[in-house]
Structure 1
Amino acid sequence: MNAEPADQLRLLDLQALDSKLDQLAHRRRTLPEIGALQALETKLGQLRDVHAVSAAADSDLAREQSKAEADVDQVRARAERDRKILESGSGSAKDLENVQHELESLGKRQADLEDVVLEVMEKVEASAARTAKLAADRTEVEADRERAAHALAQQQSAVDKDVEFARSQREVVAKQVPAPLIALYDKLREQYDGVAVAAIVRRRCQACQIELDIAEVNAAKSAAPDTILRHDSCRRILVRTADSGL
């Protein structure tokens, strides 16, 4: 395939724009803000799980406290009934003695149950404080995540603007290159890691950085200006420029 020297030079412009687009795509995929946001989302997910467990523990302890208080109330009610029986003096001496013994047992039982209530109340207080701290931490991380998401969106928007500008430039350049040459260029880009064409600078291929051997130099010197040169080493299209040193 042959191509006018001007079209070959346009290929260099096209390659520069495509390389820039590749770099911008890589930059967008690897923005540090992405990692920061992902880390915060992971942390937030963990906090949500722990907070949910702590809140469930609060509910369990609240039920435990209610039950313990109900047990105390039940013993108090029974003791109050026994006291009224004793105060009334109704019943035989044996019955009143039994009531007195039961009242003493109820007193011990009430004291034990009240200790349980106090113990549960301490657990409730500690659990509630832990849950409140987790809720505050969650709110703080949620705010951090929102800020990180906003920062990422700003960086992505900036990259997208650069991409849009580079694409518009590429469209202009591509329209000036003959279709067969574009087809070859696109094919080589797919084959060789996105780099299809390179300039010869001081007898060195700028794609693979390998210097042309003497046979390649002589062939490039003798080739017609519209001849498409291919580098024997990397198979990219070579474009002669004023800095080629040929």
Structure 2
Amino acid sequence: MNAAPADQLRLLDLQALDSRLDRLAHRRRTLPEHEEIDRLGSRLATLRDLVVAAETEDSDAAREQTKAEQDVDQVRSRAERDQQRLDSGRITSPKELENLQHEITSLAKRQGDLEEVVLEIMERRDEIQTRLAGLVEERDAAQAERDTATARRDAALAEIETESAGDTKQRGVVAAAVPAELLKLYEKIREQQHGVGAAALYQRRCEGCRLELGITDLNAIRAAAPDTIVRCDNCRRILVRTAESGL
């Protein structure tokens, strides 16, 4: 294949733009914020689950406390009624008085036991609520940290997109000036050679594979017409001759 030296030189401009676009794409994929956001997202999900579990535990304990307090109230009310009956003087039967006094004593013990239960539940709820407050604080901190990381990522992506849009537009202009067959060859080689389809021959070295050419290859290039497409024998990329090729 033949192409005008000016068209071959345009391949270097095109390659420079493609390499920039590849670097931008790599940077887009490997922003450290991606990993940070994923890590914080996992931490946040765990904390949210723990908060829900603690809230459920506190809600269950609240119902348990309400039930225990109602039991205390019922026992207290019954004891008050019995005490009023005892104090009224209307009960004259010794046996009935004895039974009533025994019941008042039993109710007092029962009330004391139930109040102990209420206190135990209240202490347990204090512990749960303290733990819950800590978890909520951790969750909110993780959310804020994730929001900050997301904002950094979005800002970095916006910057990358701006650069990429500019380079893509410029690439379109340069690519349009390259002959179709030469562009097709360049694209094919670029796909095969990790994004580099054309490289300059600089000081007798291929800038694609960074290897210095042997004397036989250099003599063949010297003998080739200026419009001949030259390929590196080592990496098979298009070699573009410049004033600094060292020929």
- Identify the TM-score tier after normalising by the shorter chain: over 0.9
Unaligned runs of 5+ in 2: none
Once the two structures are overlaid, the 10-residue window that deviates more, 15-24 or 225-234, is: 225-234
Deviation at 1:91, TM superposition (A): 5.5
Residue identity in the other structure for 2:191: E
Deviation at 1:206, TM superposition (A): 0.8
Count of equivalent residues: 246
Deviation at 1:185, TM superposition (A): 0.8
Match of 1:125 in 2: 126
- The secondary structure found in structure 1 opposite 2:240 is strand
- 1:101-151 Cα deviation digits (max 9, x unpaired): 121111111111101111111111222222223223322332222222222
Deviation at 1:49, TM superposition (A): 1.0
Matched, 1:25 2:25: yes
Match of 1:181 in 2: 182
Match of 1:167 in 2: 168
- Alignment RMSD: 1.4
Residue identity in the other structure for 1:189: R
Match of 2:71 in 1: 71
Match of 2:46 in 1: 46
Deviation at 1:5, TM superposition (A): 0.7
- 1:188-230 Cα deviation digits (max 9, x unpaired): 1111111111111111111111111222111101011111111
Residue identity in the other structure for 1:22: D
TM-score, normalised relative to structure 2: 0.95
Query: What is the CA–CA distance in structure 2 between the aligned matches of 1:97 and 1:162, rounded to whole Å?
Result: 96
Query: What is the CA–CA distance in structure 2 between the aligned matches of 1:101 and 1:43, rounded to whole Å?
Result: 59
Query: What is the CA–CA distance in structure 2 between the aligned matches of 1:27 and 1:91, rounded to whole Å?
Result: 96
Unaligned runs of 5+ in 1: none
Match of 1:137 in 2: 138
Query: What is the CA–CA distance in structure 2 between the aligned matches of 1:237 and 1:97, rounded to whole Å?
Result: 114
Residue identity in the other structure for 1:12: L
- The secondary structure found in structure 1 opposite 2:245 is coil
Query: What is the CA–CA distance in structure 1 between the aligned matches of 2:121 and 2:33, rounded to whole Å?
Result: 46
Query: What is the CA–CA distance in structure 2 between the aligned matches of 1:43 and 1:53, rounded to whole Å?
Result: 15
Query: What is the CA–CA distance in structure 2 between the aligned matches of 1:190 and 1:140, rounded to whole Å?
Result: 46
Match of 1:149 in 2: 150
- The secondary structure found in structure 2 opposite 1:238 is strand
Deviation at 1:50, TM superposition (A): 0.9
Match of 1:233 in 2: 234
